[in-house]
Structure 1
Amino acid sequence: MSRFTDKVAIITGSSNGIGQATARLLASEGAKVTVTGRNAERLEETKNILLGAGVPEGNVLVVVGDITQESVQENLIKSTLDKFGKIDILVNNAGAGIPDAQGKSGVNQSIDTYHKTFELNVQSVIEMTQKARPHLAKTQGEIVNISSIGAGPAAQVASPYYSIAKAALDQYTRTAAIDLVPEGIRVNSVSPGAVSTGFSAVSRGLTEEKSKAFYDYLGAQRECIPRGFCAVPEDIAKVIAFLADRNASNYIIGQTIVADGGTSLILGAHAHGAKMMQAVFKEL
């Protein structure tokens, strides 16, 4: 028996990237999954990837919609219950930085950008948690939120609203974990660093070839990713699956697992290496 046999999971933002990889991993290990996102064509691709991996068609539900809309949230819950009868796992993966409509950067970004960023990255998670709560209580279920190392403590000048939204999400994870654990619901989160995804290529206006070159370069820079390579979605999906697996992570409550190849541990001086620094000191 696979570790997610008879489990039912909702994975938001699963039309690509981390969400898609998570849906494939959970489904390939026995879960019935609801995949959702705004792009119907990409969701169909996700479904075909699952079917191609040997997942029975009856174990996959596709719900198209904007997760920030209450009607879509309600439809996600209702459709999942109608098809699968219960909810065991909620992965709040949908999230993104919202480009400023006027192209402003840093603290000059508009308040409208701020509201849209929080609506997607924080408010939708709160609303989905509230709506799924009674059903997860029945199954003694799991919630895994997807945050980011952008939450801090390093400053994120290029995307201040995204970074503070993820910081707020981290605190919500801790608070919700303590509030819900008496009902048997565990809440945890994952904070990825740089992840090479097709969506990232599109958002940056890069071709697939140039996107690969960008992430290969990033991963090769010791001051960026000490591990020596950039993560792919499957790397993060494995961490999500660990937190969604009660047998494996039963005693972990309200924690954020950082999966960034060491990025958040690096100071500028570290990039030069101890031997180089020692050589410099000898010359002084």
Structure 2
Amino acid sequence: MPRFTGKTVIITGSSNGIGRSAALLFALDGANVTITGRNSERLEETKQLLLKSGVSEKQVNSVVADVTSSDGQDQLVKTTLDKFGRIDVLVNNAGAAITDNSGATGTDQSLDLYHKTLHLNLQAVVEMTKKVKPHLMKTKGEIVNISSIGGGPHAQPDFIYYAMAKAALDQYTRSAAIDLIQHGIRVNSVSPGIVSTGFVGAMGLDNQASQNFYDSLSVRKHCIPAGMAGNPEDIANIILFLADRKLSSYIIGQSIVADGGSTLVLGLQADMKELSSQ
């Protein structure tokens, strides 16, 4: 029997990328899935991908909603309960590094951008967690947050607010995990590095420029030692691992870094090697 048969999963930001891949893997492994995003066309693409892969329409709840709005959050919870009757897993995947419309970077970025960035990447997670908590208490469920290596100790001067939000999300994951485990709810997270998704496209790059970005980083071993950008499925498999209590029951409040080794190296090392050979 598939391991998630009878379980229900809400995946925010599942209209593309990591969220879409996670939705497919959960559904193929027996779960009922609520998929959601703001773009109705991309969300329909996710739904059709699931159906063409053999997933029953009875397993899919597709909701066009803005996860940063209280109404959107309520819609996700209500429609999931109406269709499936329970919630077992919440995957807080929606997030983005939003660019300043004025072109400002670093400390010149606007406070409006600060509020938008933290609302999407942090506040929405806090709000969804609060709204789903009573239902996860009943099922002894799981929460998986999607963070980023951008929230780590390395400076991120071009995307300060995004890095701040993800660093705060890591602390929220740790703290919420200790608070909620007393109710039987596990909380963990994944911190991806460079993954080939629509992430950089959302920052203004077209498809070709996005592909060039990923290809260029992949050949720079001091950027990605593994020599390749990750695929959405690489992260989705970790999400399913953390949502599977049989496989990861003793992992509480941790973040699994999946970055091809990026956080283990420094650009300084590459330059030192080059200079020492001269």
TM alignment of 1:54-65, pairs within 5 A: 54-65=54-65
TM alignment of 1:113-152, pairs within 5 A: 113-152=113-152
The TM-score with structure 1 as length reference comes to 0.94
Cα distance in 2, alignment partners of residues 273 and 188 from structure 1: 37
Cα distance in 2, alignment partners of residues 273 and 33 from structure 1: 49
> For 1:226, what is the secondary structure of its paired residue?
coil
- 1:278 is displaced (CA, Å) by 6.8
- 1:6 is displaced (CA, Å) by 1.0
**8 Å Cα contact 2:97-2:203 kept in structure 1:** no
> For 1:224, what is the secondary structure of its paired residue?
coil
Aligned to 1:40: 40
**8 Å Cα contact 2:223-2:267 kept in structure 1:** no
Cα distance in 2, alignment partners of residues 61 and 167 from structure 1: 31
**8 Å Cα contact 1:68-1:119 kept in structure 2:** yes
- 1:212 is displaced (CA, Å) by 2.6
Cα distance in 2, alignment partners of residues 143 and 99 from structure 1: 28
Aligned to 2:233: 234
Cα distance in 2, alignment partners of residues 102 and 272 from structure 1: 34
> For 2:157, what is the secondary structure of its paired residue?
coil
Structure 1: 5+ residue stretches without partners: none
**Structure 1 residues 27 and 273: CA distance shift in structure 2, 3 A:** farther
The answer to which of 265-274 and 103-112 deviates more is: 265-274
Number of positions where the alignment pairs a residue of Structure 1 with one of Structure 2: 278
Instruction: Render the CA deviation track for 1:161-191: whole Å, top value 9, x for unaligned.
Output: 0000000000000000000001000000000
- 1:2 is displaced (CA, Å) by 1.1
Instruction: Render the CA deviation track for 1:214-267: whole Å, top value 9, x for unaligned.
Output: 312211110100011000111110111110111110000000000000101112
- 1:4 is displaced (CA, Å) by 1.1
1:244 is the counterpart of 2:240: no
Cα distance in 2, alignment partners of residues 225 and 9 from structure 1: 32
TM alignment of 1:18-167, pairs within 5 A: 18-167=18-167
- 1:3 is displaced (CA, Å) by 1.4
TM alignment of 1:241-280, pairs within 5 A: 241-271=240-270
Structure 2: 5+ residue stretches without partners: none
Instruction: Render the CA deviation track for 1:110-157: whole Å, top value 9, x for unaligned.
Output: 111111111111100000000000000100000000000000210001
Instruction: Render the CA deviation track for 1:38-82: whole Å, top value 9, x for unaligned.
Output: 011111000000011110010000011110000110111010000
**8 Å Cα contact 1:16-1:199 kept in structure 2:** no
Cα distance in 1, alignment partners of residues 136 and 71 from structure 2: 20
Cα distance in 1, alignment partners of residues 258 and 241 from structure 2: 12
**Structure 1 residues 202 and 128: CA distance shift in structure 2, 3 A:** closer
**Structure 1 residues 54 and 106: CA distance shift in structure 2, 3 A:** same
Aligned to 2:221: 222
Cα distance in 2, alignment partners of residues 148 and 53 from structure 1: 29
**8 Å Cα contact 2:22-2:240 kept in structure 1:** yes
- 1:101 is displaced (CA, Å) by 2.8
Aligned to 1:14: 14
> For 1:158, what is the secondary structure of its paired residue?
helix
Specify the code of the residue in structure 1 equivalent to 2:251.
Answer: I
**Structure 1 residues 214 and 102: CA distance shift in structure 2, 3 A:** closer
The TM-score with structure 2 as length reference comes to 0.96
**8 Å Cα contact 1:100-1:113 kept in structure 2:** yes
1:192 is the counterpart of 2:199: no
The answer to which of 160-169 and 264-273 deviates more is: 264-273
Report which of the two structures shows the higher radius of gyration computed on alpha carbons: 1
Cα distance in 1, alignment partners of residues 191 and 107 from structure 2: 24
Cα distance in 1, alignment partners of residues 19 and 115 from structure 2: 23
Specify the code of the residue in structure 1 equivalent to 2:45.
Answer: E
